[in-house]
Amino acid sequence: MGKNKKSNKISDHFSIRDFYCRCGKCDHAYKISLGLVGGLEFLRYKLKNRVYIVKGYVCTEAAEQLRESKRTFHTFGIAAEITVENKSAKDVFLAAETVPEFRGVGLNLKDNTVHVDTRKEKEQEYWIIDGERRIELNEETRKKYFEYLSADS
């Protein structure tokens, strides 16, 4: 490590660059909720494996280009799409549901990723994205999807 670089670390296992907007136009803009980082650290501890940030902060221009709202949990810096080394997305989803900081948790079956966010408690929500459909999890849909996913394992 010949060069003395300024540390971009914001926690034991995450750095600012993990959360950069990846649009290529905003020069790596970022916003990061420390509650989100704390939740990700706790999830890493629970799963005993490295957490990869697939998507962190998204600038408003990139959100517009992706046909998302300018005001999403990603544009506020309180959301991440993640994968975890050596863990299925289903297992990551189930573990993420138990992290108190995460009040929005979604399982994307197509991309094999998990969305986590630190929205307000009264807005708590859990869902699965199956193809183009977003399915809110309730007792019935949870049973259907998780029995189906268990059969695939």
Tell me the pLDDT band of 56, cut-offs 50, 70 and 90. Answer: very high
CB 96 within 8 A of CB 114: yes
SS3 state at 104: strand
Report which residue type is found at 152. D
**Above pLDDT 90, what percent of the chain?**
76
pLDDT of residue 151: 64
How far apart (Å, rounded) are the C-alpha atoms in residues 92 and 111? 13
Query: How far is 144 from 149, CA to CA, in rounded Å?
Result: 9
- Contacting residues for 109 by C-beta, under 8 A, at least 6 apart: 89, 128, 129, 130, 131
pLDDT, position 152: 57
Domains of the chain: 16-152 (3.30.1380.10)
What are the DSSP calls for 34-96, one per residue?
Answer: HHHHHHHHHHHHHHTS-EEEEE----HHHHHHTT--SS-TTTTT-EEEEEETT--HHHHHHHH
The pTM of this model reads 0.89
**CA neighbor of 16 nearest in space, from 26, 35, 30, 1:** 30
**Contact between 118 and 33 (Cβ < 8 Å):** yes
DSSP letter (8 states) at residue 142: H
Q: What is the pLDDT of residues 4-53, one digit of tens each?
A: 456 799 999 999 999 999 998 898 899 999 999 999 999 999 999 999 99
Tens of pLDDT, residue by residue over 101-122, are 999 999 999 999 999 999 999 9
> What pLDDT sits at residue 70?
59
Q: What is the chain's Cα-based Rg?
A: 16
